[in-house]
Structure 1
Amino acid sequence: MESLRETRRLLEQERANDARRALLLTGLRLGDRALDAGCGPGGITETMADVVGPEGHVTGVELNPERVAEASLRCQRRPNLSFLQADIRGMGLADATFDYSWSQFVFEYLPERLPALAELARVTRPGGKVVVSEIDGLGFQNWPFPERLREGTQRIVDALATKGFDLFAGRKLFTEFRQVGLRDIQVHLLPFYMVAGAADDRLLMDWEVRFAALEAVAAPFFGGLDSYRAYCREYLRMLADPDGLKYAVLLVTEGTKP
């Protein structure tokens, strides 16, 4: 999913979705030392910095060095915000560093999620919060939704699974939070998008970039590039249909470090 268009897509996605609501709902507070694990270009990291205020501090951790550079440049005037290039499965940070550790849209990419979740718990202080936000079942919640589009979407799910990507990671995190010993676990169901009618240009661009990025992985599951692109065009027409309903959900899982 790496490209210049992907950076733009991530920032537009972050602006369109109410991350602040999820952050406040799960306990991010003024003065907290907070972690944004897998921060990408830093859009949500900035929102976190606004919430914790000048008395707090936010550390954004990102594996991609280009994204770290982009985020650092965009946020260079924010003294309560810093960025680190690292893998969230082994960040090299001290134990019990943060009051609140957040990660969004990262765990779906991890073939093994428990090591990353254990790492988030390790760097969180006792009594602090670990929060993971994931889309669950993206692409399937549409009506009308012709069977050929449903079958095509399942082919993409199958293709992604060969690369360790789990489109249904969100629903599995409650169990995994328990497995790493977090307590007082809650799961919040929030909208990722809700479109009654035709999707706007931003959402259509979001899907276009996804489809383009997935060509190499998904096309073989359609028997070739032409068939895959035909599916993508039909899916985009479905999103633009003024008579249809389209939605996707976030599952935001929070737990407390004992």
Structure 2
Amino acid sequence: MKQTQAYLMESNEEAFRLELKTDVEAVRKQALWCGVKAGLRVLDLGCGPGKTTEILHSMVSPAGSVVGADYSAERIAYAQEHHGGKPGIEFVQCDLTKPIEGLGLFDVIWVRFVLEYFRKESPEIVKRLRTLLKPGGYLCLIDLDNNCLGHYEMPEPMNTLLPKLMSCIDEEFNFDTYAGRKLYSYLYDQNYENIQVELMAHHLIYGEARQSDVFNWLKKLEIGTGKMHSFFKEYPGGAETFLEDFRKFFLNPRRFTYTPLILCKGMRPYDEGVS
């Protein structure tokens, strides 16, 4: 299936990056807050390589089931190979910017780290998901806010350039650096009931960084700078020097890095029935 736009983080190592950075206990904590429990039918929308889908599956088993959906044929193939083949877990390819049909209804729809890649389409995506949710079911939206910008003490001129870089990426790749703060309004505007909001730390890095965090952050910057190479013509030494400067900054145990994670959930009203 042809995707509607280029995925900002696409690379040969993307499945590995996504698997490596997924914190099992953090996912379980977030899923418990969202109401995921044994016996439910859950949709993991934007499932990527499937690790999160498998975590959700472990929480709804044995009577429940999970469907992982993603637009990337490569990611779905990886998910089926590494996390599929068990009763109650299924992976399907779909384009979430279009109506999704044939999957039935779900008790919980889990949309984590997805809407940040669809700045323009997010309100319509949320609107269409309503038809996949059982009355009384919950739509759970989870995303980062102030993405990639929570660093101290970043030296100049890197400190000046990074916000401009993220703004440029937003415009060029339909990314949303501030996706998290918008999630509540998406549910409010669609008249969901019992809307709840939670704030957690996604990245909270100080002292010696874990190797998984080092790989994740440097890989993100490597891919981003590669796709925005001309943007760095005014940075002393260009993109390569920017990457090296960030690496030195990030490996310094004095560095402090954080990224807020915003979780929102809302219930589809019982009185709507199923259309």
- CA gap of 1:149–1:221, structure 2 versus 1, over 3 A, is same
Measure how far apart 1:84 and its partner are.
0.7
Alignment gaps of 5+ in structure 1: none
- The one-letter code of the counterpart of 2:213 is L
Return the alpha-carbon distance in structure 2 between the equivalents of residues 109 and 78 of structure 1: 30
Query: % of aligned pairs identical?
Result: 27
1:89 corresponds to:
97
TM-score (norm 2): 0.88
Residue 134 (1) aligns with residue 143 (2) = yes
Q: 1:184 pairs with 186, 190, 194, which one?
A: 194
CA deviation string 1:165-208 (max 9, x = no partner): 11111111111111122122122111212122132221111012
Measure how far apart 1:146 and its partner are.
2.9
Aligned residues: 258
Extract structure 1 runs of 4+ deviating beyond 3 A. none
- CA gap of 1:16–1:125, structure 2 versus 1, over 3 A, is closer
- The one-letter code of the counterpart of 2:142 is S
2:72 corresponds to:
64
1:234 corresponds to:
245
Q: 1:215 pairs with 210, 219, 225, which one?
A: 225
Measure how far apart 1:34 and its partner are.
0.3
Q: Is the 8 A contact 2:42 2:65 kept in 1?
A: yes
CA deviation string 1:210-257 (max 9, x = no partner): 122213432222227951222222122211111222111211111111
Of residues 183-192 and 45-54 in structure 1, the stretch that sits farther from structure 2 once superposed is 183-192
1:7 corresponds to:
15
1:112 corresponds to:
121
Return the alpha-carbon distance in structure 1 between the equivalents of residues 72 and 203 of structure 2: 27
Q: Is the 8 A contact 2:27 2:52 kept in 1?
A: yes
Residue 156 (1) aligns with residue 165 (2) = yes
Return the alpha-carbon distance in structure 1 between the equivalents of residues 94 and 216 of structure 2: 26
Return the alpha-carbon distance in structure 2 between the equivalents of residues 16 and 58 of structure 1: 16
Q: 1:168 pairs with 163, 166, 178, which one?
A: 178
CA RMSD across the alignment: 1.8
- CA gap of 1:125–1:94, structure 2 versus 1, over 3 A, is farther
- The one-letter code of the counterpart of 1:152 is L
Q: Is the 8 A contact 1:15 1:43 kept in 2?
A: no
Q: Is the 8 A contact 1:34 1:101 kept in 2?
A: yes
1:27 corresponds to:
35
Measure how far apart 1:57 and its partner are.
0.6
Return the alpha-carbon distance in structure 2 between the equivalents of residues 4 and 189 of structure 1: 32
- The one-letter code of the counterpart of 1:198 is E
Return the alpha-carbon distance in structure 2 between the equivalents of residues 91 and 60 of structure 1: 16
1:200 corresponds to:
210
- The one-letter code of the counterpart of 2:214 is L
2:273 corresponds to:
none
Measure how far apart 1:16 and its partner are.
6.1
1:245 corresponds to:
256
Return the alpha-carbon distance in structure 2 between the equivalents of residues 182 and 228 of structure 1: 45
